Amino acid sequence: MGRKDLLGLKELDASELINILDVAREMKKILAQGVKRVPHLQNKSMVTLFYENSTRTRMSFELAGKFLSASVSNVVVRNSSVQKGESLIDTGKTLDALMTDVIVIRHNCSGAPHLLAKNVKASVLNAGDGMNEHPTQALLDMFTMREKLGEIKGLKVAIVGDIKHSRVARSNIIGLSKLGADVYISAPGTLIPYDIEKMGAKVCPLDKAVEGANVVMGLRMQLERQQSGLIPSRKEYGRFYGLTDERMTKAAKNALVMHPGPLNRGVELTSEVADCGQSVINEQVTNGVAVRMAVLFLLTRGGRKI
């Protein structure tokens, strides 16, 4: 990429995004042939450093690294470096000393990957930081849209749910806007972040967001949002903001149903919607591996740029 790190989609321009998606397409071809070991990252070592629990993202990165022949190690940090006593920078310097080429970091604090990147020689790949970005999730979402619907330019994408706390939403709004999609978001007022429209998304009522949408993406509703008073109950949330068969009839014909997982069935979307023929939720998972292979390859490829 001509970059040491991938910290977010904010830093990338449209051509860089397209390049990643093109390379991911090649990676997916490899996977489709059942080849689970190619030599692209031979002699490279990758460490996943997760300060938050995650199964799917960590597994996806781990497999992507292994399929590319990297040596992969996992550091599981409970909660935070502060509680553990070692600072993030010290942990990073330790990983540097262990000759790590790529650190894949997930952290509960926005900007933590940026802090790490400034202080280590290794490439830093953001696997989700606080409420900021989750660039590979948005890339795999865009990859899926591109694969299913062709060009992203001109698509209407509705993102529904807890936008305020969602790094998936932020990365998607940024990436999709750069590639020319029209992004509509819908959520209770308590879950819409201040001035989000300046990022290029239009805030509107749920039915307007879904109407004619080519893609409808639900976001996970965390239980804590009820506890902190942002929604009265998940039941009420489901009634007014849940994606149901009836609501989906307003979407464009063959609209995709997407969700970054893990699902709360009956809350952000009903099982009928999650399991319908237009749902690509499981394909998103496969595409995630291809996208992460592409990013790992591009970040570690010396001398050439994404």
Partner 1 sequence: MKLLIKGGNLIGYDKPADILMDGGKVKTIAYDIVEQCDKVIDAKGKYVLPGLIDMHVHLREPGFEHKENIYTGAKAAAKGGFTSVCCMPNTRPVCDNESVVIYIKDQAAKADFCRVFPIGAITKGSQGKELAEIGCMKEAGIVGISDDGNPVENSQIMRLALEYAADFGVLVISHCEDKNLVADGIANEGYNATLAGLRGNTKAAEEVIVAREICLAETLNTSVHIAHVSTAGSVEMIRHAKKRGVKVTCETCPHYFTLEDSLLSSYDTNIKVNPPIRTEKDRLAIIEGIKDGTIDCIVTDHAPHHEDEKKIEFQYASNGISGLETSFALSYTYLVKAGHISLAKLVELMSINPARALKLPFEGLKEGCTDITIVDIDSPYTIDVAKFLSKGKNSPFNGYEVYGKALYTIRNEKIINCEVL
Of 69, 71, 74, 80, which lies in the binding site for partner 1, with binding defined by CB under 8 A? 80
Q: CA 147 to CA 159: how far, in whole Å?
A: 19
206 CA to centre of own chain: 22
Which residue lies nearer to partner 1 by CB, 105 or 273? 105
Binders of partner 1 in range 142-201 (CB under 8 A): 167, 170, 193-196, 198-199
Q: Binding to partner 1 (CB under 8 A): which residues in 30-49?
A: none
Contact 297, 68 (CB under 8 A): yes
Three-state SS for 20-32 is: HHHHHHHHHHHHH
For residue 306, how far is the Cα from the chain centroid? 19
| φ, ψ for residue 107, nearest 5 deg | -150, 145
Q: Quick one: how far is CA 240 from the chain centroid?
A: 25
| Smallest distance, partner 1 to C-beta of residue 164, A | 9
CB of 273 to partner 1, least distance (A): 28
For residues 226-285, which are near partner 1 according to CB under 8 A? 228
Q: Which of 58, 106, 114, 259 binds partner 1 (CB under 8 A)?
A: 114
Prior bond of 260 cis (ω within 30°): no
Q: How far is the CB of 10 from partner 1 (least distance, A)?
A: 7
Cβ closer to partner 1: 129 or 162?
129
Applying CB under 8 A, the residues found at the interface with partner 1 are 10, 80-82, 87-89, 107-112, 114-115, 129-133, 167, 170, 193-196, 198-199, 228
